[in-house]
Amino acid sequence: MAYNILVTGGAGYLGSTMVPKLLKAGHKVTVIDNFMYGQNSLAAVCHEPDFHVVKGDVRLKETMQPLLKDADIIIPLAALVGAPICNQDPVGATTINHDAILMMLEMVSKDQVILMPTTNSAYGTGDENNFCTEESPLQPISKYAKDKVEVEKVLMERENSISFRLATVFGMSPRMRVDLLVNDFTYRAVYDGCVTLFESHFKRNYVHVRDVTGAFMHAMENYNVMKGEIYNVGLSEANLSKWELCEAIKRHVQNFIFLEAPLGKDPDQRNYIVSNEKIEKTGFEPAVGLHDGLKGLIKGYTMIKNTKYGNV
């Protein structure tokens, strides 16, 4: 079945991978984005008759109201993503990540479907075994994580919603982000040959950017089974410490050197092993393993070498 889908922030890291797949599946897709990074990441789909794009601000009611009215499914990706950029621009973080979402929730009808990415950084350090399921208590530390938790709580009060608590995303995308952990470490391995780690024993889960799209499309295909629930989305094979991640990268970049020094602290204190069993039981299986994703990054870094591909 074809849907009218509104994707906010659709020219970003997730959206520029997701939108072409939605169009290929036969959906009509409208993207609203402010193009704050000057990206042309959706240029390859501009020929598609079912693709529509609006340059605008998701915080403006008069902009969002007509776009929301025609949507069967809303995928709100527009956000300042990650603790560093939220700390750098706390006003923007509040108005985009929190206020704009609550405004949207007030404007949509009960029949419209919302598929929303949140974050498993809200788990903090998990339980005494650092293990997290969707039922684990949330312990957000950064402003980014706290806003996501508050928004998710309101989102899940409505019936036609699904929240995806995404693992740390990695992989090549038309709107690249080099600042994400796996992407960053791989970039340093390729170009610097080394990285200095802090809190190298801290574990977290990872997921390829293409599998984020896969999870959203899986939910659309299995909506009646999955609606009204929260799902962790990650690679179960990739609950890794920073040190273990570097060991994986070294399999592909053999001259890569990494060492530890007490130089920093994770603003979210992410140290957890995440269970993805709940979404796996619905039939979802990630398609891109860690090592295939790393190979893709190494190919991509053959083409890019500068710092404009990060958020901060």
Report the distance separating Cα 80 and Cα 142, nearest Å. Answer: 13
Which secondary structure element, helix H or strand E, spans residue 203, and what is its range? strand 203-208
Q: What is the pTM of this model?
A: 0.95
CB 94 within 8 A of CB 59: no
State residue 266's pLDDT score: 76
Give how many domains the chain has, as a whole number.
Answer: 1
CB 214 within 8 A of CB 220: no
Extract the tokens encoding 223. Answer: 């909506």
State residue 269's pLDDT score: 78
Read off the CATH number of the domain in which 117 is found: 3.40.50.720
Does 193 map to a domain? no
Does 299 map to a domain? no
pLDDT digits (tens, 9 = 90+) for 33-56: 999 988 999 999 999 999 999 999
Report the distance separating Cα 289 and Cα 50, nearest Å. Answer: 31
Which secondary structure element, helix H or strand E, spans residue 221, and what is its range? helix 209-221
Which secondary structure element, helix H or strand E, spans residue 88, and what is its range? helix 83-88
Does 307 map to a domain? no
Does 185 map to a domain? no
Does 264 map to a domain? no
Report the distance separating Cα 234 and Cα 170, nearest Å. Answer: 11
State residue 271's pLDDT score: 87
State residue 309's pLDDT score: 62
Domain extent at residue 118: 4-170+206-234+276-286
Does 293 map to a domain? no
Across the chain, which has 312 residues, the per-10-residue mean pLDDT values are: 96 98 98 93 98 98 96 97 91 96 97 96 76 92 92 95 97 95 97 94 95 98 97 97 97 96 78 95 98 98 78 58
CB within 8 Å of 309: residues ≥ 6 apart: 176, 177, 178, 179
Residue 135: exposure state from Cβ atoms within 10 A (0-12, 13-18, ≥19): exposed
State residue 264's pLDDT score: 77
Closest CA to 27 of 6, 8, 55: 6
State residue 125's pLDDT score: 72
Does 17 map to a domain? yes
CB within 8 Å of 58: residues ≥ 6 apart: 8, 9, 32, 34, 64, 76, 78, 96, 100, 104
Does 257 map to a domain? no
